C-alpha cells in the first residue's frame, strides 16, 4: 500500500473565549488518545498473509492519526457602539488547513460575533470546517402550537446554514443531546449536522458508585423518555408525567417502580429545575431510597442552580457537563459534579475526523 497520500498535518482548533478551557482540554485529550497498534484478538498466528497486510495497513494509519493544535489567534474586541471588532490573525496560513471551531451560544449577546467568524473560515480557504456547538440553545422552541409563534430553533439553524461550502464539501455542525432529533432537518443541505450524545459520561459515572446495582433511571416526561430511553435497559426505566391543575403543576409516576431504588432522573437540559424537583418528590413518595439527576446542559438562568444546594428535595448527585461555560463554577458546589465533554469530543474526532486521509 502506498502511504504517501496520508495526511500528517495538524488540525487547527479555534475557540470562542468562553470555551478556551474546554478547547485546551480537547487538545490534551486527543494527544493522550492516539491509538495503539493491535492485532485482532491477539490471533497473530492464525492470520492469513492478506489479513496480516490489512492489519498492518490499519495500524500504520492509526499510528499516523493527526494532532490537534489550538490556535489562540482571534481578536475578540468591540467598537465603541458595542458591535464586534473581530480579527483572525493567521488567515494567510489557513489555506488548505482542516479547521475546527468550538463555540457557545449560551447568551444572545455573543451569537452574532461567532456567526461572523464562522462564515469566514471557508472564505479564507480552510480545506474543511467543523463547528462544535455543544449546546443548541433554541432547541426547546422547535415547533409552533398556534399561529404567531416563532420556532426559533429553525431560525438559528437557518443562520448557521449560511456557512459556505469548503473545498472538501459542507461544513459539519456537531451538537450534543439536541432537544429533539428532528431538528437536524432544520438545517439546509449546505450543512451536515452531527448529533452526538454525552450519555456515556453518565454511564461511566454510574459504574463508579457503590450502589450501582440499585440504580434505575427516570424521565420527567414522555419527551425525555423518547429521547433517551434507548440508552438504558428497558427494565430499569421509569417514566413520569406532568399534570396541570389550574395554575399548579404536579409530576406523577406513570410507568415503572422506584421502590427501594436509587433513581437517577435524566433529561437533556435544566432551566429553573422545578420539574426535576417535582419529579424527585413523586419518586420519593413512591418509595425511592435516594434521588440523583443528570442533564447535559445546565442552563440555570439567574443562578437557579442555587436552589439545589440546600433543597427540601435532597439530590445525592447532580451530574452536568461543561456544554455551557458556567457549569465549571456550578460544579464547585455539591450536589453538582462536572462530566467534561473533552473526552467524548476527542473520541469523536479520533474516530474519524483525525484519520490521516487527504
Domain definitions of the chain by residue range: 11-197+343-353, 199-340
Q: Quick one: pLDDT at residue 14? A: 98
Q: Quick one: pLDDT at residue 285? A: 96
| Distances from the Cα of 159 to the Cα of 24, 82, 114, 136, 143, angstroms | 27, 21, 11, 13, 17
- Low pLDDT (below 70) residues in the chain: 1-7, 33-64, 356-358
Options 3.40.630.10, 3.40.50.2020, 1.10.4160.10, 3.40.30.10; CATH of 199-340: 3.40.50.2020
**Cell (9 digits) for 105:** 451560544
Give CA–CA dist 330/313, Å, rounded.
18
CB atoms within 10 A of CB 162: 12
Provide the 3-class DSSP secondary structure of residue 355: coil
Q: Quick one: pLDDT at residue 66? A: 85
Residue 267's beta-bridge partner residues?
Answer: 295
Q: Quick one: pLDDT at residue 57? A: 41
11-197+343-353 against 199-340: fold identical: yes
Give CA–CA dist 255/237, Å, rounded.
8
Summarised one tens digit per residue, pLDDT across range 22-47 is 999 999 999 886 544 444 444 445 45
φ, ψ dihedrals at 314, nearest 5°: -80, 125
Provide the 3-class DSSP secondary structure of residue 283: helix
Asked if residues 290 and 323 have their Cβ atoms less than 8 Å apart, the reply is no
Q: Quick one: pLDDT at residue 100? A: 96
Q: Where are the alpha helices (DSSP H) in 176-255?
A: 199-207, 222-228
CB atoms within 10 A of CB 114: 22
Residue 217's beta-bridge partner residues?
Answer: 237, 264
11-197+343-353 under CATH 2.70.98.70, yes or no: no
Q: Which residue has the cell 465603541?
A: 80
CA angle 235, 237, 240 (to 5 degrees): 140
CA angle 353, 356, 357 (to 5 degrees): 85
Asked if residues 287 and 260 have their Cβ atoms less than 8 Å apart, the reply is yes
Amino acid at each position: 500500500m502506498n502511504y504517501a497520500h496520508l495526511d500528517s498535518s495538524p488540525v487547527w482548533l479555534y475557540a470562542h473565549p468562553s470555551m478556551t478551557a474546554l478547547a485546551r482540554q480537547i487538545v490534551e485529550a486527543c494527544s493522550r488518545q492516539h491509538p495503539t497498534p493491535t492485532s485482532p484478538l491477539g490471533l497473530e498466528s492464525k492470520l492469513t498473509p492478506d489479513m496480516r497486510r490489512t492489519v498492518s495497513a490499519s495500524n500504520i494509519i492509526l499510528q499516523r492519526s493527526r494532532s490537534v493544535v489550538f490556535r489562540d489567534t482571534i481578536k475578540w474586541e468591540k467598537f465603541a457602539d458595542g458591535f464586534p471588532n473581530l480579527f483572525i490573525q493567521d488567515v494567510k496560513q489557513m489555506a488548505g488547513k482542516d479547521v475546527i471551531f468550538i463555540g457557545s451560544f449560551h447568551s444572545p449577546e455573543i451569537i452574532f460575533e461567532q456567526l461572523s467568524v464562522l462564515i469566514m473560515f471557508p472564505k479564507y480557504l480552510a480545506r474543511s470546517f467543523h463547528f462544535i456547538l455543544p449546546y443548541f440553545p433554541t432547541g426547546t422552541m422547535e415547533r409552533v402550537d398556534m399561529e404567531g409563534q416563532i420556532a426559533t430553533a429553525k431560525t438559528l439553524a437557518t443562520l448557521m446554514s449560511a456557512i459556505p461550502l469548503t473545498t472538501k464539501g459542507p461544513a459539519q455542525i456537531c451538537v450534543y443531546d439536541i432537544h429533539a432529533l428532528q431538528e437536524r432537518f432544520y438545517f439546509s443541505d449546505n450543512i451536515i449536522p452531527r448529533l452526538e450524545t454525552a450519555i456515556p459520561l453518565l454511564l461511566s459515572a454510574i459504574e463508579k458508585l457503590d450502589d450501582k446495582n440499585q440504580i434505575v433511571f427516570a424521565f420527567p416526561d414522555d419527551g425525555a423518555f423518547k429521547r433517551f430511553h434507548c440508552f438504558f435497559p428497558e427494565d430499569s426505566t421509569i417514566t413520569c408525567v406532568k399534570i396541570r391543575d389550574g395554575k399548579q403543576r404536579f409530576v406523577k409516576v406513570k410507568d415503572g417502580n422506584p421502590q427501594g431504588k436509587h433513581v437517577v432522573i435524566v433529561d437533556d437540559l435544566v432551566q429553573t429545575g422545578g420539574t426535576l424537583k417535582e419529579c424527585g418528590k413523586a419518586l420519593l413518595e413512591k418509595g425511592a431510597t435516594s434521588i440523583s439527576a443528570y442533564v447535559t446542559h445546565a442552563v440555570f438562568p439567574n443562578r437557579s442552580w442555587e436552589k439545589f444546594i440546600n433543597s427540601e428535595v435532597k439530590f445525592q448527585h447532580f451530574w452536568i457537563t461543561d456544554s455551557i461555560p458556567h457549569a465549571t463554577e456550578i460544579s464547585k458546589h455539591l450536589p453538582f459534579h462536572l462530566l467534561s465533554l473533552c473526552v467524548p469530543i476527542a473520541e469523536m474526532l479520533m474516530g474519524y475526523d483525525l484519520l490521516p486521509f487527504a
